[in-house]
């Protein structure tokens, strides 16, 4: 944890994918006791390998979920299987798992387009 006002924490491991800050609505689906539970949340950043979001629910590390959202500049929602990799209060980091290549390509193109628009 860093002192207030000192900036983001430094991670000992280099991230595999660049992340872009954004704010968008997401849905997180999980199965509990045979029932699908859906929680709405607000994404904070997105990368090819995962997403960070504020979710008003309790998840445990390594829990498997499905994350659904509209890609920036997309027209239909896309779903990714994911696992919880980080939890800090209601802020969660999810790593996308078992991603199909066509989904990865859509995600890459969308992230690139969004990053260019942010710089303009």
What is Dmax (Cα atoms) for the chain?
A: 48
> Which domains does the chain show, CATH number per domain?
19-119 (2.40.10.220)
**DSSP code string of 47-101:** ETTEEEEE-SS---TT-EEEEEEEPTT-SSEEEEEEEEEEEETTEEEEEE-S--H
Using one digit for the tens of pLDDT, what is the confidence trace for 4-38? 344 444 545 555 667 788 889 999 999 999 999 99
- Enter the pTM of the model: 0.80
Using one digit for the tens of pLDDT, what is the confidence trace for 44-68? 999 999 999 999 999 999 999 999 9
């Amino acid at each position: 944890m860093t002192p207030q006002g000192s900036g983001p924490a430094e991670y000992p491991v280099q991230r595999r994918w660049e992340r872009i800050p954004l704010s968008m609505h997401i849905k997180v689906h999980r199965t509990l006791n045979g029932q699908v539970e859906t929680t709405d949340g607000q994404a904070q950043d997105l990368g090819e390998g995962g997403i960070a979001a504020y979710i008003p629910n309790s998840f445990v590390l390594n829990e498997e979920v499905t994350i659904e959202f509209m890609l920036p500049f997309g027209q239909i929602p896309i779903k990714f299987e994911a696992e919880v990799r980080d939890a800090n209060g209601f802020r969660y980091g999810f790593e996308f798992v078992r991603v199909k290549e066509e989904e990865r390509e859509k995600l890459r193109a969308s992230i690139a387009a969004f990053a260019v628009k942010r710089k303009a």
